[in-house]
Amino acid sequence: ETGVTQSPTHLIKTRGQQVTLRCSSQSGHNTVSWYQQALGQGPQFIFQYYREEENGRGNFPPRFSGLQFPNYSSELNVNALELDDSALYLCASSPAVAPPYNEQFFGPGTRLTVL
Amino acid sequence: AQKVTQAQTEISVVEKEDVTLDCVYETRDTTYYLFWYKQPPSGELVFLIRRNSFDEQNEISGRYSWNFQKSTSSFNFTITASQVVDSAVYFCALSGHSNTGNQFYFGTGTSLTVIP
């Protein structure tokens, strides 16, 4: 069984640019959540997708957007990057039962650095 | 407001000592779930346990045990006979459903160092 995978592993961008991060959910999982984890902090919930629809959103501005595809993989897009967007971005998938009641299985993350 | 507080920022113990990690949560939901995750230096979060708000039965799993008390809004985690491999950051998390959809809240984590 393949776990959650994310790409790329590391990324360096400059302020004002746009970035797309990708996530493949674990087999059989139809729910994907994205988190931002700043250094020394806990993960902050960005949003969740359930069967291709946004199913919850944290306190992040609209320049953070996402997509979920029919195969349940997902993208996180961030426009107009700011220095504070530098963080580890984690993707998590949950089994095919209604969230938020399930444990989430996390990928290894994408480390984004904004210069 | 929904919130998870882990007051212990860092804990160091000597190998084979027992250690308890504290978690206090706030929520207005009547149905919610609590989780513990472990984040080793590699960075990947590892699921340890889930408890729902209706299940206050405490559990022991090997060297791990959990103490869930709704009366004090606490969900503490204990490692018995700690080992060096237990060194990691441990996160407590709360999930629930609000009018804006599902929400997940993590605490700021407790960094555990087990000294050989």
**Higher-confidence residue: B29 or B25?**
B25
Contact B44 A109 (CB under 8 A): yes
pLDDT confidence of residue B39: 94
Q: Dihedral angle at the C-alpha atoms of B94, A8, B113, B75, nearest 10 degrees? A: 10
CA A95 to chain centre: 16
Residue B93 scores a pLDDT above 60 = yes
**B64 is written with which tokens?**
């791990």
pLDDT confidence of residue B43: 83
Contact B102 A58 (CB under 8 A): no
Say if strands B3-5 and B24-26 run parallel, antiparallel, or are unpaired.
antiparallel
Percent of chain B with pLDDT over 90: 63
Residues of B in CB contact (< 8 Å) with A are: 4, 6, 33, 35, 37, 42-47, 50, 52, 91, 95-98, 100-109
Residue A1 scores a pLDDT above 70 = no
pLDDT confidence of residue A105: 87
Q: Quick: pLDDT tens for B67-86.
A: 999 999 999 999 999 999 99
Cβ burial, residue B35 (10 Å; 0-12/13-18/19+): buried
Q: What's the Cα-to-Cα distance from B4 to each of A8, B27, B48, rounded to whole Å?
A: 30, 9, 17
Residue B116 scores a pLDDT above 60 = yes
Chain A contacts of B106, Cβ < 8 Å?
A: 35, 42-45
Q: Quick: pLDDT tens for A63-114.
A: 999 999 998 899 999 999 999 999 999 999 987 555 556 778 899 999 999 9
DSSP-assigned beta bridge partners for residue B5: B24
**Higher-confidence residue: B33 or B17?**
B17
